[in-house]
Chains A and B, each alone.
Chain A
């Protein structure tokens, strides 16, 4: 690899790593499931690298990456054109605008989330780890716990609701203190 390519490679990795969590949150807001978000994010990473030379300044990486992500979500939607389990295109566009605005708070939310997860009882935290490890299917996990998948979905939903409330409370206090 030439010095130029090496520098470009390092620059890309640095910028991508910095903005990836916000991008992921943005994409996640626009597709129904985590797997869908993963699929889109794969495409986004590839397109960003392929077109990286078109970026005029590293300062513009974030808005540029969000525009690429928005386009890739649209492309994903087109592939799902017959799927009635996704939002309409107009409504998705509205959500995308608002999600991009909210994405500026993603780093704060992540920090708050780390705090809130520590507050969870260990058995609940363990359940969340299993549910989000990418390997365990919910129906398998439910079977292990002698529950139905539906009841486990609801337990996880309640935990997420509690975590959202906790992170908002945490960030509210931070804002009040500053």
Chain B
């Protein structure tokens, strides 16, 4: 069979080569090819040309950028392979970065690494589009620009270029220090994190939410429909996917009564939910039958402290804080008095144990925030498809600050929830479901010392 575009078998070839042929079409193509030696020859020429086009057509400028320099990175902590591994690394790395199509390579791997799909080995060159799926463990990806990312499984990560990757889920700890790697980008389903010379950690969940924590330097965050946000050392950022992406920005304060944060304003008496204006009220909410009910602690100040326009005066002040009894989740509701367009919600906490300054467990903010613009709901939000309630955000500041040991946890924290649009939505009721911080064995989880919640309205 000659190259005749009108022949239906060539339509099958096109669909097969583009990866869109059905099972029946693949079978039909195989039958046609098996029956006709000339068609097979033309088919093989066609595929051979398809492969050659990759080589012949001009591409990007990877060769103009410096090759990977793993020796200079801080992440070279994983066990090295033996001499063969080193030689193989040299051989394959050299080969990879003299060919334009390879943009990254596998670096060090942890001993507990398990691949979920195709396995890869140290020194293996990687093309744009290569997907790495880890069931467990860590693997370093050395990008052509010198940027280095450690993927922590379970994770799915795709190589996008010599200076970027896409994290579908899992964690990616990135180090991009040299000039060539400036602009190194980790993309996620909900936003892009663009390095400006730093170390940063990105986490993405299968549900599309993503988080960022900046260890040092600065990172720009690009969320669809939102102005670029720049985060600096110690800051955290979370994005909830949805029609209107919701962003959670988390920062640590200066540990003074002024509550100074890098970008989040101090507690304000001028927000819509300030109790003295008479519009907003706050009340405790009972749990439903499925959950253990929890009340504010008897040592807690009144709930109204959360809408009084100021935070605590000192770092360990229960009476100036609002917190639940140790143990179960607690709920409180802010009634804004009428349905209003909410632009931003800021929450503040402060705690450092007077006797042991390393203990800051009550500074952590862990809560899920729901909103409702209808009549006062009679039931709690039970799931994400709740018709009455809209889940606005989930917050866990320990996750942002990568807390592993007590002193890692900032004593004074602020969380700002906003969106790429002018408004998070129209709400009258805001429901906070607050979770306590886990404690060592035998101790009940402890609740956060909240100092203030500000609700800023949209124009």
Which of A's residues lie within 8 Å of B, judged by CB?
A: 1, 5, 8-9, 12-13, 16-17, 21, 24-25, 27-29, 32-35, 37-39, 42, 45-46, 49-50, 79, 84-88, 91, 94-95, 98-99, 102-103, 106, 109-110, 113-114, 117, 128-129, 132-135, 138, 153-154, 156-158, 160-161, 163-165, 167-168
Distance of A72 from chain B, by nearest CB (Å): 11
Q: Mark B278-305, 1 if CB is under 8 A from A, else 0.
A: 0000000000000000000000000000
A13→B55 contact, CB < 8 A: no
B14→A110 contact, CB < 8 A: no
Chain B residues numbered 309-336 whose CB sits less than 8 Å from any CB in chain A: none
Q: Which 6 A-B pairs have the closest CB atoms?
A: A28-B51, A157-B14, A84-B23, A25-B48, A134-B128, A33-B19
B118→A79 contact, CB < 8 A: yes
**Residues of chain A contacted by B46 (CB below 8 angstroms):** 160-161, 164
How far, in whole Å, are A51 and B45 apart by their CA atoms in the complex? 30
Distance of B24 from chain A, by nearest CB (Å): 9
How far, in whole Å, are A153 and B87 apart by their CA atoms in the complex? 42
**Residues of chain B contacted by A109 (CB below 8 angstroms):** 45, 48-49, 52
B91→A37 contact, CB < 8 A: no
Distance of A31 from chain B, by nearest CB (Å): 9
B5→A161 contact, CB < 8 A: yes
Chain B residues numbered 115-169 whose CB sits less than 8 Å from any CB in chain A: 118, 120-121, 123-130, 160-161
Query: What is the interface of chain B mostly: helix, strand, loop, or mixed?
Result: helix
The answer, yes or no, to whether B75 is at the interface (CB within 8 Å) is no
B44→A102 contact, CB < 8 A: yes
Interface size on B (CB < 8 Å)?
62
**Residues of chain A contacted by B17 (CB below 8 angstroms):** 32-33, 157
Q: Which residue of A lies closest to B26 (CB)?
A: A85
A1→B90 contact, CB < 8 A: yes
Of B57-65, B176-184, B400-408, B420-428, the segment with at least 4 beta carbons within 8 Å of chain A is B57-65
A134→B59 contact, CB < 8 A: yes
**Residues of chain B contacted by A27 (CB below 8 angstroms):** 51
Contact A161/B10 with A21-B52, A87-B26 known, Cβ cut-off 8 Å: yes
The answer, yes or no, to whether B77 is at the interface (CB within 8 Å) is no
B10→A16 contact, CB < 8 A: no
Distance of B89 from chain A, by nearest CB (Å): 10
B3→A161 contact, CB < 8 A: yes
The answer, yes or no, to whether B207 is at the interface (CB within 8 Å) is no
B87→A113 contact, CB < 8 A: no
The answer, yes or no, to whether B228 is at the interface (CB within 8 Å) is no
Query: What is the interface of chain A mostly: helix, strand, loop, or mixed?
Result: helix
B55→A86 contact, CB < 8 A: no
Which of B's residues lie within 8 Å of A, judged by CB?
A: 3, 5, 10, 13-23, 26, 30, 33-34, 40-42, 44-60, 83-84, 86-88, 90-92, 94-95, 101, 118, 120-121, 123-130, 160-161
B45→A102 contact, CB < 8 A: yes
B40→A32 contact, CB < 8 A: no
A28→B50 contact, CB < 8 A: yes
How far, in whole Å, are A42 and B121 apart by their CA atoms in the complex? 10
B44→A32 contact, CB < 8 A: no
Distance of B256 from chain A, by nearest CB (Å): 49
Say which residue of A1, A45, A117 sits within 8 Å of B125 (CB atoms): A45
B40→A95 contact, CB < 8 A: yes
**Residues of chain A contacted by B58 (CB below 8 angstroms):** 129
- Best-surrounded residue of A1, A157, A163 (most CB of chain B within 10 A): A157
A5→B5 contact, CB < 8 A: no
How far, in whole Å, are A113 and B118 apart by their CA atoms in the complex? 33
B10→A134 contact, CB < 8 A: no
How far, in whole Å, are A42 and B128 apart by their CA atoms in the complex? 12
B52→A113 contact, CB < 8 A: yes
**Residues of chain B contacted by A16 (CB below 8 angstroms):** 95
Q: Which residue of A lies closest to B47 (CB)?
A: A29
**Residues of chain B contacted by A99 (CB below 8 angstroms):** 44, 48
A-B contacts, 17 of them at CB < 8 A, read A21-B55, A39-B130, A42-B120, A46-B88, A85-B19, A85-B21, A86-B26, A91-B33, A94-B34, A102-B45, A114-B56, A132-B57, A138-B18, A153-B20, A164-B46, A167-B45, A168-B3
Contact A39/B118 with A88-B30, A98-B41 known, Cβ cut-off 8 Å: yes
**Residues of chain B contacted by A35 (CB below 8 angstroms):** 19, 129
How far, in whole Å, are A133 and B160 apart by their CA atoms in the complex? 11
How far, in whole Å, are A46 and B96 apart by their CA atoms in the complex? 11
**Residues of chain B contacted by A5 (CB below 8 angstroms):** 83, 87
**Residues of chain B contacted by A168 (CB below 8 angstroms):** 3, 45
How far, in whole Å, are A102 and B120 apart by their CA atoms in the complex? 30
A49→B91 contact, CB < 8 A: yes
Contact A42/B125 with A87-B26, A95-B40 known, Cβ cut-off 8 Å: yes
B48→A29 contact, CB < 8 A: yes
Distance of A63 from chain B, by nearest CB (Å): 18
Contact A102/B41 with A5-B87, A135-B160, A161-B3 known, Cβ cut-off 8 Å: yes
